[in-house]
Amino acid sequence: MIAPLIKGLILGVILSISVGPVIFAIIKQSINNGHKAGYFFVAGVSASDILLVLVCNFFTSLFTTALNHRTFIAVAGSAFLVAVGIYTLFFKKVHTDESNNIVDKKFRKRDLLAIFFSGFFMNMLNPAVFIFWFAWTAAILADSQTAVHPIEYRTIVFGTCLAFVLFSDLLKVMLAGKLRPKLTPGNLHLINKISGLILIGFGIALCWGILTYGNKIG
């Protein structure tokens, strides 16, 4: 089946190049804490996408109910982004050795779990992600009705899309990780400041957007 494969790739490209807080958070996490932290953050993002796709396809009423509470979800997501942004802007420390070289932080299991869930909730609490999956699931469900094997058709579309997005996010981690050794503590401190401001900006914009235009969506 070439058609669902192509559609899955197109969806994956759209989602992977969409500018949002998750992209900046992946890069920030990888530059600050290295590959391992970046991979765990991406795993959290991917897990939330998989969960949303499953809910959209098999529990439509549950997903519709969640969309009806999009204002609450947006406010919660905004608060989460602003909180992460404030922490990054004012409290995030750059770990250095005695020679003032950047060193890798040693993560405990609970630290990695916290990074995983930060990726999960940053993606899950974004109404734009909800609307993206809801809209495209409705379109693909309708499209699959003309296919010989509708379930197989949808599986290929969403499986290809999710695999492409995961590959794209892992690539971002690797590229950011290659940049990390070339940074000085001063550079990293500046990146944290900029990242914090960007996350706060996304949080405020998300809250303003849903409160202003939320009733016009859906």
pTM of this prediction exceeds 0.85: no
Joined together, the tokens standing for residue 23 give 């992209």
Give the tens place of pLDDT for each residue, 81-138: 888 888 878 877 766 655 555 666 778 889 999 999 999 998 888 877 877 888 888 8
In this prediction, residues 48-61 reach a mean pLDDT of 83
Say which residues have a Cβ less than 8 Å from residue 181's Cβ, sequence separation at least 6. Answer: 102
In this prediction, residues 27-46 reach a mean pLDDT of 89
Contact 53, 158 (CB under 8 A): yes
**Rounded Cα gap, residues 182 and 63, in angstroms:** 44
Contact 34, 174 (CB under 8 A): no
Which segment of 6-20, 98-112, 120-134, 167-181 scores lowest on mean pLDDT?
Answer: 98-112
The pLDDT of residue 129? 83
